[in-house]
């Protein structure tokens, strides 16, 4: 749903007023917005009132917004609706919102000389709304971490006098463990599929990001006999940490526990190929019969309070460096290309695949879609499979991508697959189960009159610096080929 707010804009008749800024209001995601109104327009053309929406603070991203000039007669209300990508401090809107003459003569002004405008805003889709809420939660956590750091610094000042008397005091004070629960669901299915499963990102109170990795049917020499468990430091400060990994049981006396101290590097994992025997786990009630699940608790902390303070300091320095880099980076615009797949029904009957025409982005890189009308591998006979291939360009280049299946009548129903990936030349990347055939037919994505599907491909490097590097490298390769 839209987050709506009715705003009163005053001083419309005041000849000295060039811009009126509304009060800021906060949407349910947590971002703060306001309306910028130019009673005489924001350029030399003073015949129109201009309105712009501004993201004052919060989460940058793609939003849909509606600006309505209210009137006692509902049929006379002026309404504009659009969708744009907002960055903090940027404005989006309408230079020619309404003629000033019409505004003054047709009853839009109330007795005080003000107007009412309803501003409605929402993320472009539900997935983005969830993403923005998660990002806002991360910002809140950062503020809490800042408060913690402030309290930490105060505590350091208090113990400074004690450290003069006993230099080893900080090395003897142990911080609390940061603990997380990880539930391995569908344990039996994971064993049969011989798959591993990772926990969600878990942050300790220092700010480091960890994951627990569980091999349900064992890893390497422990396969088929042992449960294998590993800890991995995804992001943060490499160094020495105390750990405790527990396989929980209703009877606390049966809980399996591994603990100790280990030096971790970024992306390095540490653990136990033989954590616990699988037959013993199943025989002793560790697997929940109702949910077919195992329950783990993993806990981490620096080995002492002094190390925790050092890790905090290093993490603050790293965050400061990253902040400076982000300030220098700009997000380039997407390069968008379209492709029409013809004779879909015939391709589906023949069980064949097709390459799209070369789709060239604004860097000059050539992309192609590889499409299986009747599905590929495990998706055969029931899904449309779509893959993306970099045919010509710079190998191992990082791109943000969006592959869309367009709906002929309803653009809001477009099917989007998007993300960030490192693409190597002529290596496929995509979705065997892009869309099932039944939905494709019933919801109107297939144009029956022309027997076609319409695809749209959008690509861009994550930042302008990478885009320039890829462009230079691509030009260099073209020159070498010409020689």
pLDDT digits (tens, 9 = 90+) for 388-428: 999 999 999 999 999 999 999 999 999 999 999 999 999 99
Please compute the mean of the pLDDT values over residues 223-250 and round it to a whole number.
92
* Averaged confidence pLDDT in the chain: 88
pLDDT digits (tens, 9 = 90+) for 67-77: 999 998 888 88
390-416 burial code (b ≥16 CB/10 A, e <16): bebbbeebebbbbbbbbbbeeeeeebe
pTM of the predicted model as reported, rounded to 2 decimal places: 0.36
- The neighbour count for residue 302, using CB atoms within 10 Å, is 24
pLDDT at site 57: 87
Catalogue all structural domains in the chain, each as residue range(s) with its CATH number: 3-124 (2.60.210.10), 178-307 (2.60.210.10), 335-482 (2.60.210.10)
* Contacts for 324-332: CB closer than 8 Å, 24+ residues apart: 328/465, 329/463, 329/464, 329/465, 330/463, 330/464, 331/87, 331/460, 331/462, 331/463, 331/464, 332/460, 332/461, 332/463, 332/464, 332/467
pLDDT at site 382: 92
pLDDT of residue 139 exceeding 90? no
pLDDT digits (tens, 9 = 90+) for 193-220: 888 899 999 998 888 899 999 999 999 8
For 403, phi then psi, to 5°, come to -110, 125
Confidence of residue 313 (pLDDT cuts 50, 70, 90): confident
pLDDT digits (tens, 9 = 90+) for 325-370: 765 566 788 999 999 999 999 999 888 899 999 999 999 999 999 9
- The neighbour count for residue 134, using CB atoms within 10 Å, is 11
pLDDT of residue 171 exceeding 50? no
Q: Pick the residue with more confidence: 153 or 275?
A: 275
Q: Pick the residue with more confidence: 282 or 10?
A: 282
């Amino acid at each position: 749903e839209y987050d709506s707010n009715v705003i009163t804009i005053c001083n419309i008749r005041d000849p000295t007023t060039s811009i009126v800024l509304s009060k800021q209001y906060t949407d349910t995601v947590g971002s703060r917005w306001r309306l910028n109104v130019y009673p005489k327009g924001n350029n030399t053309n003073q015949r129109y009132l201009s309105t712009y929406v501004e993201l004052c603070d919060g989460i940058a991203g793609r939003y849909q917004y509606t600006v309505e000039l209210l009137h006692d007669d509902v049929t006379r209300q002026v309404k504009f609706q659009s969708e744009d990508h907002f960055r903090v401090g940027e404005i989006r809107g309408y230079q020619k919102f309404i003629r000033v003459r019409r505004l003054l003569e047709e009853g839009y002004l109330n007795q005080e000389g003000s107007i009412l405008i309803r501003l409605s805003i929402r993320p472009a889709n539900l997935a983005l709304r969830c993403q923005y809420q998660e990002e806002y939660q991360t910002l809140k956590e950062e503020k809490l971490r800042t408060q913690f750091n402030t309290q930490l610094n105060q505590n350091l000042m208090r113990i400074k006098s004690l450290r003069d008397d006993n230099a080893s005091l900080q090395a003897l004070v142990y911080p609390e463990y940061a603990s997380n629960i990880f539930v391995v669901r569908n344990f039996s299915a994971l064993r049969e599929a011989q798959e591993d499963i990772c926990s969600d990102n878990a942050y300790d109170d220092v700010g480091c990001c960890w994951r627990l990795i569980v091999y349900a049917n064992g890893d390497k020499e422990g396969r088929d006999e042992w449960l294998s468990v590993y800890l991995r430091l995804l992001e943060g400060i490499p160094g020495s940490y105390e750990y405790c990994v527990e396989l929980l049981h209703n009877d606390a006396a049966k809980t399996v526990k591994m603990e100790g101290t280990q030096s971790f590097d970024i992306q390095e994992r540490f653990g136990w190929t033989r954590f616990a025997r699988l037959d013993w786990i199943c025989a002793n009630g560790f697997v929940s019969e109702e949910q077919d699940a195992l329950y783990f608790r993993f806990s981490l902390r620096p080995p002492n309070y002094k190390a925790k303070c050092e890790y905090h300091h290093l993490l603050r320095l790293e965050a400061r460096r990253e902040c400076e880099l982000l300030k220098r980076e700009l997000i380039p615009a997407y390069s968008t290309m379209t492709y029409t797949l013809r004779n879909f029904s015939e391709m589906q009957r023949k069980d064949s695949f097709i390459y799209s025409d070369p789709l060239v982005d604004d860097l000059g890189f050539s992309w192609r879609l590889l499409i299986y009308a009747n599905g590929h591998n495990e998706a055969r006979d029931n899904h449309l499979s779509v893959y993306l291939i970099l045919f010509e360009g710079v190998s191992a280049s990082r791109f943000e991508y969006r592959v869309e299946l367009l709906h002929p009548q309803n653009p809001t129903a477009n099917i989007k697959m998007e993300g960030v990936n490192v693409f190597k030349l002529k290596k496929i990347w995509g979705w065997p189960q892009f869309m099932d055939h039944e939905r494709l037919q019933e919801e109107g994505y297939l144009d029956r009159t022309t027997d076609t599907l319409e695809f749209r491909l959008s690509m861009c490097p994550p930042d302008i610096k990478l885009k320039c590097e890829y462009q230079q490298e691509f030009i260099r390769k073209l020159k070498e080929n010409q020689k």
